[in-house]
Structure formats: structure tokens, C-alpha cells
Structure 1
């Protein structure tokens, strides 16, 4: 075919009467058809050529005249075929051209290949959008409402999802902080009483003109017993009860009233009958009662200070986990250790995970840091752990595992022992608004948000495998920065 024949055929294809044969243009007026014919052009593509590529600027609206097209899209790191068609008149490309004025930076949403030699009629998207709004104002308003409304609803639900997660974690953090804070307050009140008791018993010893050498020995005994508190062996409930009975009998035999009340304070410090014999021998029968009570107060004081230290350490650890989780004191994009984010997320979700879920951590601590938005990754860990716990009905084993992949990436795996995900749901699990939770318990955006964070923001991959008793979500993240993720 020579050039003149090719031009003649293209002219025939774009004549208004030929365009009217396409279902897309059959209802246009003659004037509208004339405009389409004048502004469109015919393009040919050889077999295997890419007509458009996903992510490129959406500049043209295409209508198939001849041949067969294949449509694909990137899904979890793989190119998946969505459709193939040879129906004359089907369209693709910048299909949201009516929004070109409001959204000038539109991108193609899929890749289109020529499965055979193809002929397509193409129109410039911006010009077509302007003309479409002029020709069909009501249809334009309806389409804009459909597109914009759907996008706005999705944004609102996504924000709501984040706020609900934040509220849940805030409630959990408040509950976790309340326990050690209350324990510290109780221990402080008891400590005040014990210190007052120590002062009283010391005054009694001084009132009886105790020998200074004896008081010095008594203080030495006190220091020795206090040091033993931290290293005292852990006793079982039966062993502790037997030891208390032995000490109570000794105290009763030596005429010390309320020995049953003193014994529980002496046992945790590792005090035995042999120790009591040594104390009695050091101070004598005259001061044994006052001395033992003073020593008991000293031991109780040390124990209470230990409780306060534990409680305040717990509060500090929780606040550190909250700071790590929220990343409020760090740059948004940096190299991070995924284990820190995983640990802080587990701490923040401890109350929601519950006591009947066994958490197993299998970390490869040799893994290097990765370039990431740590706050956003923590949101991914939150979504995956929350789903895993829900899938197990808050009873089972939650496994958090980190490994290196063969192609040089870090893999984080969140596994659960729930009932599994049915095969028909696996194909839709990352779709927005798709959820298997009961009405009102899930928005269906948790995994969609997680997928966007992992794939779009970090150029990684999010996969899932599932069978009854073994469901695993795998997050794969590159160790080297390939392309700086966009801030949008």
C-alpha cells in the first residue's frame, strides 16, 4: 500500500458517516461528528507495541477501529491482564477527560498493548473534555459528581479509618499508662507509712539507750538484708507458704506478736529461720522485737522502691514506644530498623492483642536498615496485626518474622492461626472498601491503605498466602533507595 492509499483509507475511517457507525458516536449531531472527525486522527500500532503505559500522562482518548487490544495493570509487583478485546468501537486511555480542567495531571490507569496489528482513532483529551462539557452539560455534571463524589467519600473514609485507629491506640496507651501510674501511687503511699514506722522503731531503740556498737551491728544487718532483696530466689506459691509458716512459728516462739503479718514481708527477701537466729543473737532478747520490726520496715521500703522503679520504668518504656510509633521526633523519611517499628507497634497494641494471643517474634537482627517513612510503616504493621488478631477471634498465635529475600530486600511477615481467607476473597483482599468483617466493624480500607504505603510510597510489595490455621501477609521492602517516594 502506497502513502496515497493509506491517506485515503484514513480519511474514510474518519469521515463523519464512518464515525457514526461506532456505538460511541452514533447519537452525535452532524456538527458534533464533524468536530470529532476534524480533531481526531488515525494511528496504527504493530503487534506487541504498547499503545499507552500505566502512569504516563493521560493525553489521548482512544477508540479501537481494527485489531485486538490487551489491557494490563501492575498488581502487587506483577503485571496482571485485566482484559483483551477486539470489539470495534471500544475505548481506552484518558477516560476521565471530563475532569481534565479540574485534574490537569491525570495519568493512564493501565497499560494497553496491541495484541495484533491495531488501528485506533485518537482524540486529544483536553480538547475533547472542553467540547464534551459544552455539548453535554448535564452529563458532565453527573460524571463529575460521580468521579469527585467517589474520591471524596474515599478520602473521608480513609481519614475516619486513621482517626479510629488513633483513638483505639490512644485508649490502649491510656489504659497501659494507668496501670503503672496507679501502682506507683499505691507504692508511694505505702512507702510513706513504712518510713514513718522505721522512724518510730528507731526512736524506740534510742529510747532504751541501745549500745552504739549494737546499733552499728543492726545497721550492718539491715544493709545486708536490703542487698539480698534483689537477689532473693523466686519461690513457688507452695514454697513461699511453707517458708512463711516456718518464720511465723519462729516469731511466735520468741514472743513477737503478729508474726503472721511480718512473715510475708521477710520471705520475698530470702530471710530464713537461720537468719532470724543470727539477728536475735546480735541484738539480744531485749531488742529483738523492735529490731525485727525495724528491719521488716526496711525490707518493705526496699521492695516498695523497687515497685516504684518498675512502674516508672514501665511508663518511660510506654512513652518511648509511643514516640517511636508516632515518629513525632524524627524526620519523615530516613533509614530505619524495621524491628523498632514492629516492637513499638506491639507495645501500643498490647491491650487489643489480649492475653489469649501468644506473640512469637522471629527476628533476623542482622538485617540492615531501610529507607522508609517509619510512621507510615507503623500504620501498615498496625493494620496487619489488627486484622490477624481479629481473624483469630483474639485467641491463637501471632507470629512476627523478619528475613532477607534472595533479591536483596527485607521481608516482614505477619502470620496468624485463624480460620484463613477463602480463595474467592484472596483475589479481592486489597480492593478498597472490601472487607470480611461484620457490618460496622471494618471500612475495608486498612489493606488498601497498607498496599498504597508499601507499593506506591516505598516501591515494595505486599503479598498474602492463606490456608486454615496459617495466614501470612508478607511486606517486602527494598534495602537500597531506588526512587525517592513522592510526598503526595
Structure 2
């Protein structure tokens, strides 16, 4: 026989103490008293939210699923506490599954109410209150979404500024090198025309072309000299050139030294070319060396631009499925490139375990996590004057059944009282206008809710480490 409560017993519960007899009668006839033994599950996280529960006796606990473990969030024996379909009053627009798990710690009895009927009745009994609650509920949802979008835009702005800065340097270098290259090619044509006017013998022209090729080959294998050694080598070349009446030898010595050419090599040129053509032939070879150097600079600059564009594509995960099997190091590398300007002034140490196997997940979303953690680390090592200094450490390891990504900084640390709140939405230690307080909240939800992982912080002055653990198996 089903057990029911009297109106007086219902009124003794703080949730129903202000209800009149008609409303209590509805609860009495629609509610059911259900008993549970110790360790029995009342409902499980993720199941359809079909019932609303009120504790009548015993002790219960509430748990959340974190990376496959049931983490207890509360435990109580207070009569009248409630759980289950707590948002039934908003109907189908609200949460339709249980957001946590509920179990009996000791033998317990609970009042069980059908969620759909109870929610409809609450809307009929308290229309104004329900409108206010709906406004609060959906207003918070919309506010969180809007601020979350702003946080994502701020993260995008951070990496875009870094990308723009990084792209500007090689682009400007390519423009400068192209302009200089145009001038060197013009001079080469002019010098070649002068040599042609001298009606060179074919064997001299052939020798000059061979020496030009040899000079270019020497330039590709030339070693970088110290400043002192380079000065000494240039002085030797200047002396040799002055002895042979070559004009402005100090202009010719640096490119010849950079190409690894010595007075002995120049003597080979002097032996092959008539004395009156030595300077013209020598300048033609120097222009060739400078042209080759400028083309190398343009190649390096365009390669850098190509690398940056590739990093941007990897970071944004364009043309890729949202969920995929991926190497976490690729996202970390792309984020470091995109955050380059933000990390200027810091020593970046990469301690990466490249033997880690690819994992399954959402790399585009994780790149936002890496951006938030790197940005926070950079902010922690930025002084009041805006100057950044310190060491940022990026580490990957295997940790049991998880892949560990650790972002460490040598900033002042996070005090214990703030450490408890650091993952709360809208909580920030940054000045007004510099942070929304959602970066770590969004990161936590991406790591924990989307990937079944774990995000935590360990901190003391001079050593703060944010640790992201991602399951190796999906």
C-alpha cells in the first residue's frame, strides 16, 4: 500500500509551509513517499529528469561525474532539501536531464513528484513568480552565452593581434629585400653592359662566369664569423683591394667576407681578368652575391609567412571535423605561434613528450584552453609598468590513463583564498576592462564537460602550474 503524507506533514516541510490546503491536497494526492536502502541510487546524472524529490528522512549525497569518477559535491540529512528536476517549472525549455546524481547514504525516504505535472502546477499556482524565475533562468543563460562569446572574441583578438604582428615582420622584410633586389639587378645589368663594351675575349667571359658560380657556391657554405674575426677578414680584403687601386674597397669587403672569399680567391680573379677590368668584374660578382643574399631573405620571409598561415589554420581548425583524433602538440605549437607577441619578454621552456600518442577530442576548443592559460600566465608575469619577465614552462606527460598538459609561470602565485574561486564564472583578478572572468570557466567546461578531463591549479609564489588532464581513451 502506497504511503501518503497528511497536509500537516507537508506543511512542516519548509518548501510547502506557505501553501493553502488545496495546493497541499494536490501534492498529497500526486506525490508518493519512496523508501531507499543505504547506497541505493535515487537518480543518475544524464538520465531524463522525470521526478522532483524532497527529503523526508535519512541522509543523501549529491555527486558529479568528473573524468569517470563520481565526485561528491554535497551531503545532507536536512529534512525538506530537494533535488532532481528542479527546473521543471520552465517546461521543455529547461534542462531535460538530471545534472547530478543522487543516492541514499543511509536508509532514506523521499517525497517523489512527477516533474511534468508538478511543473505545470507550479506555473498555475505562482504565475508571477514563475515569470520572474524564467526571466532569471533564461536571462542568465543568454548573459552567459553573450559574455562567453565576448570571451571567445577576446581570445581571438589576442591571437589575431599576435598573428598580425608576426606577419608584419616577414612581410616588411620581404618588401625591403625586394626593393633592394631590384636595385642590385639594375646594377648587375649596368655592370654587365660595361663589361660587354670592353669586347671581352670569350675565355675571359667564361672564366668570369665560372668565378661567379664559384663565389655563389662559397657563399652557401660560408661559416658565420664572430664580430672580431669578421673585422680582421674585412681589413685584409680592404688592404688587398687598395693595393690594386679598387675604388671604395670598404663597400666591397663586407659582402665578400660574408661569402667566405679571401685575398687568395681574389687573386684567382686578378689572374683571369685584365687589370683594367678587375674592378668591374669584382663589382659584378659582388652584385651577384648580394642578389643571392636578398633572394634568400625573401625566401625566408615568405616561408615564415607560410608557416604563420599554417599555424593559424591549425589553430582555427579550418576545414576539419570538430571531433577528431589529433596530436595535442600541434595545437600547442600553433597557439604559441599565435600568441608570440603576447609572450615577448618571457623565456619559453618547452618540455614536451613527443612519444605521446594522438587522442580523440575537439582540438579547436582545446586551442582556446591553451590560449586562456598562456594569456593568464603572461599576465601573471607582467609588471605594473607593462614589462613582462619570467619563465613560462609548457610541459606534456603521460599521467596514468591521462595526457597531462601543464602551463607553468614564475609569477607571484595565486593566494589560497582566490584559488578556491578561480574557476568560478565572472571571477577575475585582472583590472576592470581587461578580463571577463570567464576564461577559466570556459576552459574548465571544455576540459571537464566536453572531454571528460580535469583542470586544476597548483600555486605558490614563483611557481604556478595549471594542469589539464585529458583521457587517453575517448
Q: Shorter-chain TM-score: what band?
A: over 0.9
Q: TM-score, normalised by structure 2?
A: 0.94
User: C-alpha displacement at 1:156, in angstroms?
Assistant: 0.4
Cα distance in 1 for residues equivalent to 2:44 and 2:149: 31
Q: Does 1:82 align with 2:73?
A: yes
Q: 1:428 aligns with which of 418, 421, 430?
A: 421
User: C-alpha displacement at 1:396, in angstroms?
Assistant: 1.4
Cα distance in 2 for residues equivalent to 1:294 and 1:350: 41
User: C-alpha displacement at 1:79, in angstroms?
Assistant: 3.7
Q: Deviations over 1:53-97 (max 9, x none)?
A: 233222222112122222333456654433332222222222222
Q: CA RMSD in A?
A: 1.8
Residue 232 of structure 2 aligns with which residue? 242
For the residue of structure 2 that corresponds to 1:473, the secondary structure is: strand
Structure 2: gaps of 5 or more residues: 383-387
Q: TM-score, normalised by structure 1?
A: 0.92
Residue 373 of structure 1 aligns with which residue? 362
Cα distance in 2 for residues equivalent to 1:262 and 1:448: 61
For the residue of structure 2 that corresponds to 1:371, the secondary structure is: strand
Cα distance in 2 for residues equivalent to 1:25 and 1:204: 105
Q: Deviations over 1:154-189 (max 9, x none)?
A: 100000111121122222212211211111111111
Residue 399 of structure 2 aligns with which residue? 405
Residue 23 of structure 1 aligns with which residue? 14
Cα distance in 1 for residues equivalent to 2:74 and 2:362: 35
Cα distance in 1 for residues equivalent to 2:400 and 2:69: 17
1:291-330 equivalence runs, <5 A: 291-330=281-320
Structure 1: gaps of 5 or more residues: 482-488
Cα distance in 1 for residues equivalent to 2:420 and 2:186: 69
User: C-alpha displacement at 1:337, in angstroms?
Assistant: 1.1
Q: 1:391 aligns with which of 380, 394, 397?
A: 380
Q: Does 1:207 align with 2:207?
A: no
Cα distance in 1 for residues equivalent to 2:437 and 2:64: 21
Cα distance in 1 for residues equivalent to 2:168 and 2:449: 39
Q: Deviations over 1:167-220 (max 9, x none)?
A: 222222122112111111111111111111111111111111222111111111
Residue 486 of structure 1 aligns with which residue? none
Q: 1:190 aligns with which of 180, 186, 206?
A: 180
Q: 2:82 aligns with which of 88, 91, 94?
A: 91
In structure 2, relative to structure 1, the CA distance for the partners of 1:52 and 1:157 (3 Å cut) is same
Aligned 8 A contact 2:66 2:452 in 1: no
Aligned 8 A contact 1:77 1:461 in 2: no
Residue 32 of structure 1 aligns with which residue? 23
Residue 43 of structure 1 aligns with which residue? 34
Aligned 8 A contact 2:163 2:340 in 1: no
Residue 484 of structure 1 aligns with which residue? none
Residue 485 of structure 1 aligns with which residue? none
Residue 64 of structure 1 aligns with which residue? 55
